[in-house]
Amino acid sequence: MADRTKILVVDDDRDLVDILTMVLTSHGYETVQAYDAPQGLTKAEEEHPDLIVLDVMMPEGTEGFHVVWSLRNRPEAYFQNVPIIMLTAIHQKTPLRFYPDSGDGTYEAGEYLPVQGFVDKPVEPRDLVSEVERVLAIDREP
Amino acid sequence: MDVGNKQHQIPETPTALPATEVLIGRIGWLIRLRWVAVGGVLIFVEAVRRLLPIQLFPSRLYTVLGILTLYNLTVWLVFVRLRRVRTDAVGSSRRDTGAVVGGLARFLLPRVPPGVNYYDRPAARAAVFASCQIGLDLVFLAALLHFAGGIENPLRVFFVFHVIVASILLSRRATYAHATLGLLLLSAVALGEFSGVLPHYSLQSHWRPDAYLDPHLVGTQLFLLGVTLYVSAYLASSIAARLRRREVDVVVLSRHLAEKAVHLEAAYAEVSAGEKAKSQYMRKVAHELREPLGTIKTALGVVLEFAPGAMANRTRDLIRRAHHRAGELAEVTQELLSLSRARGSRATVEHTTLDPGEVSRLVLDEMRPRAADAGVVLTVQIGEKQKEIMGDPEGLADLMDNLLSNAIRYTPRNGTVTFSVQVAHGKLAIEVKDTGIGIPQEDLPRIYEEFFRSKTAREYSPDGSGLGMAIVKAVVDQHQGTISVESSPGHGTRVRVELPAAG
């Protein structure tokens, strides 16, 4: 591969974004940062990263969750396929899988969140790196 | 907070004005009684004519009875209207409680203690109506007596009935007035016959034919009747007054109770609002703490793993400790969040359709490595195809997580933890059994307290916040389920949770 793998990190905690960027950069990845949901969507559009690490941004809202659906609902193949890793506290995974209703009909009740991986918060750097490797490996399978 | 400003209105109890309802009800009773009297007189006249050697003048008596019947019909029609107006008034606008009750009504209506809105206008109207009826009834009785022997007729004592009716419906003064009216009417009959103004219809009974002309005899009879009527009036109205006071007591008492209930309700609303505010505060604080704590822990983790190797051992050790403690704190804040979430009402926590098997699998993904690390055999029994239930998936995951974490944490190496999830008979049953250290019997009642850890638990493992079972209990309560814990120290613990699966 000519280009380095590009990873977009989205979290409203700037310190965490910078720390995760450090970890990923030190493992040879190129990184792009976004500090809220709209910025995350814009960056995804502009940069077309190979992977998105996305904070669930709960419980203020379910912003991260809506970011996932906004991306997946776009017609372009890229947005439907770009692998996403969600950063969640352990049990936030559960409601994400059973999330009842979008309210605007963009997805159906009980639908699974279309993401490829989860990393628990507080993030252990080692866990993040191995999850990134795992997801990218699957993504590169023919 | 709107709770403080909310006006607590004392509910208008229908018992606040019982007298009017009672009075109107009793007028109906009086009308029914009058029908009985009409029938009674009819039967009486016919029986006496046939059975006793007495001379009667049925045609005159029947004329009186006919008029009485017409009169009672009229009264009944008026009564029906009065009652309907009453119902409409109650149904539509507020009635004019404690309103102007005129002088006549004040004389007629029984007196009540001050401070009780006991009468309203319809009551006054009903009292006048009742009083007129009793007066007319006395006239009818006097007429019947006149046509059946006048002073000779022993049934003159029937005036007592009217006095008793008056005492039940009206004031003591009004009762005496009606007794006086009865006495005056009979006196008028007796004097009229005595003076020859009225004809005398002799019964031809054991009385001398000219007895009605004997002033001593007539005087004695009238005097005795007077005594009878006034004594009856006194006794009956005393009893009625006592009953009425009791009635008022009941009214006052029920108003007090209604007020108390309103105050209690307000107090309860305040307490629960406070409780809610406390819970929200706890949630906010925990949430504010969780994020930075997580970031601190991650940062320290990065230092430990990726910092250049030339870090002094001492420094590395300090950072490792800080990393560990930050992790503990992050865990406690997460548990506090779970707890406040589970204690939130159904309004704040959304219950959705969920598959308990799916939630179990997610939790088990976390638990399997932990059990392996602890050298504990984790046996899982999850029903093949789980039915979906209504519930809070996050709460349910918290519940399973905490039960399993406890079981694994307090079970020594080579022990076993059995986890089973079944939906059957309208219930979701979750059971966690372990061969761990157990809970001392005396500590069992306290396990749901926040931050409580039994001495044996603290000695066995330094980890654990003591919030786990509080979270479990809160989730169970939120789902209106049940939980039972059996434990045998040194042998193990069995926790069984049942949540309603229907709806």
The string of pLDDT tens digits covering residues B328-381 is: 998 899 898 888 888 876 667 778 888 888 889 888 988 999 999 999 999 999
pLDDT digit string, tens, across residues B277-316: 888 888 888 888 988 999 999 999 999 887 766 678 888 8
**What is residue B218's predicted lDDT score, i.e. its pLDDT?**
87
The HSE-up count of residue B365 (CA atoms within 13 Å, CB side) is 13
Candidates B295, B350, B362; nearest CB to A94: B362
Q: How many residues does chain B have?
A: 503
The pLDDT tens digits of the residues spanning A19-70 come to: 999 999 999 999 999 998 899 999 999 999 999 999 987 555 567 888 888 8
* pLDDT at B109 (0 to 100): 80
By the 8 A CB rule, do B264 and B276 touch? no
Q: What is the pLDDT of residue B477?
A: 93
Kindly state whether B305 is in contact with chain A, defined as any CB-CB distance less than 8 angstroms.
yes
Q: What is the pLDDT of residue A90?
A: 62
Alpha carbon of B474: minimum distance to chain A alpha carbons (Å): 16
Residues of B in contact with A109 (CB under 8 A): 352-353
Mean pLDDT of chain A: 83
Task: Output the pLDDT for position A1.
Answer: 46
* A22 vs B: CB within 8 A: yes
Chain B closest CA to A93's CA: distance in Å?
Answer: 8
The pLDDT > 90 percentage for chain B reads: 44
On whether ipTM exceeds 0.90, the answer is no
Distance from the A123 Cα atom to the nearest Cα atom in chain B, whole angstroms = 5
Query: What confidence score (pLDDT) does residue A82 get?
Result: 94
Q: Tell me the pLDDT of chain B averaged across its residues.
A: 85
Asked whether residue B260 carries a pLDDT value surpassing 60, the answer given is yes
pLDDT, one tens digit per residue, over B6-46 is 444 444 444 345 567 778 888 999 999 999 999 998 998 88
As a whole number, mean pLDDT of residues B237-242 equals 89
pLDDT interval class at B215 (50, 70, 90): confident
pLDDT at site B405:
94
Distance from CA of B115 to the nearest CA of A (A): 56
Q: How far is A58 from chain B (nearest CA, A)?
A: 10
Give how far B458 is from chain A: nearest CA, Å.
Answer: 25
Label residue B101 by pLDDT band (50, 70, 90). Answer: low
Residues in chain B within 8 Å Cβ distance of A99: 352
pLDDT of residue B503: 47
Contact B302 A23 (CB under 8 A): yes
Residues 342-371 of B with CB under 8 A from A: 350, 352-355, 358-359, 362, 366
Q: Rounded CA gap, B166 and B180, in Å?
A: 12
How many Cβ pairs within 8 Å bridge chains A and B?
82
Q: At what angle do helices B159-169 and B121-146 cross, to 10 degrees?
A: 180
Show residues of chain B in contact with A93, CB under 8 Å. 362, 397
Map tokens 């450090």 to a residue.
A22
**What is the pLDDT confidence band of residue B386, given thresholds at 50, 70 and 90?**
low
Cβ contacts of B293 on chain A, cutoff 8 Å: 122
Q: Is A98 on the interface with B (CB under 8 A)?
A: yes
User: Is a pLDDT exceeding 90 seen at residue B322?
Assistant: yes
Beta pairing class for B416-424 and B377-382: parallel
Out of A90-99, B67-76, B187-196, least confident range:
A90-99
Please answer whether residues A64 and A53 qualify as being in contact, where contact means their C-beta atoms are separated by less than 8 angstroms.
no
* Token digits of residue B282: 């706890």
- In angstroms, what separates the C-alpha of B457 from chain A's closest C-alpha? 24
Which residues in chain A are contacts of B300 at CB distance < 8 A? none
Query: Residue B285, exposed/middle/buried by CB under 10 A (0-12, 13-18, 19+)?
Result: middle
| Closest CB to B298 among A19, A59, A92 | A19
Distance CA B389, CA B423 (A): 9
Interface contact flag, B294 A95, Cβ < 8 Å: no
Task: For residue A34, give the H/E element and its range.
Answer: strand A30-34
Find the closest chain A residue to B366 by CA distance.
A90
Q: Which pLDDT score is estimated for A107?
A: 57
Whether B3 has a pLDDT exceeding 60, the answer reads: no
Coil, strand or helix at B212: helix
What are B264-279's pLDDT values in tens digits?
A: 999 999 998 888 888 8
Cβ–Cβ of B294/A123 closer than 8 Å?
yes
Partner residue opposite B299 with nearest CB, options A19, A59, A109: A19
- pLDDT value at B388 more than 50: yes
| Cβ-based neighbour number of residue B258 at 10 Å | 16
pLDDT of residue A41: 93
**Cβ–Cβ of A59/B287 closer than 8 Å?**
yes
Q: Provide the sign of the torsion angle of the four alpha carbons B256, B257, B258, B262, taken in this order.
A: positive
A125 touches chain B (CB under 8 A): yes
Confidence of residue A89 (pLDDT cuts 50, 70, 90): confident
Sign of CA dihedral B409, B330, B277, A100: negative
Which of B346, B359, B348, B363 has its CA nearest to residue B282? Answer: B348
Inspect the interface and report whether the beta carbons of A126 and B301 lie closer than 8 Å.
yes
How confident is the model at residue B403, as a pLDDT? 96
CB distance B353–A20 less than 8 Å?
no
User: What is the value of pTM for the model shown?
Assistant: 0.61
End-to-end Cα separation, chain B, in angstroms: 34
* Contact between residue A54 and residue A86 where contact means Cβ atoms under 8 Å apart: yes
Over residues B408-431, the mean pLDDT reads 93
Evaluated on CA atoms B405, B406, B409, B413, the torsion sign reads negative
Least confident of A120-129, B48-57, B294-303, B411-420: B48-57
> Residue B12's pLDDT is what?
44
Structural contact between residues B183 and B225, judged by C-beta atoms closer than 8 angstroms: yes
Band (pLDDT 50/70/90 cuts) for residue B401 is very high
Q: B465 to each of A8, B246, B282, B289, B328, how far by Cα in Å?
A: 36, 61, 16, 16, 9
Residue of B nearest to A15 (CA): B295
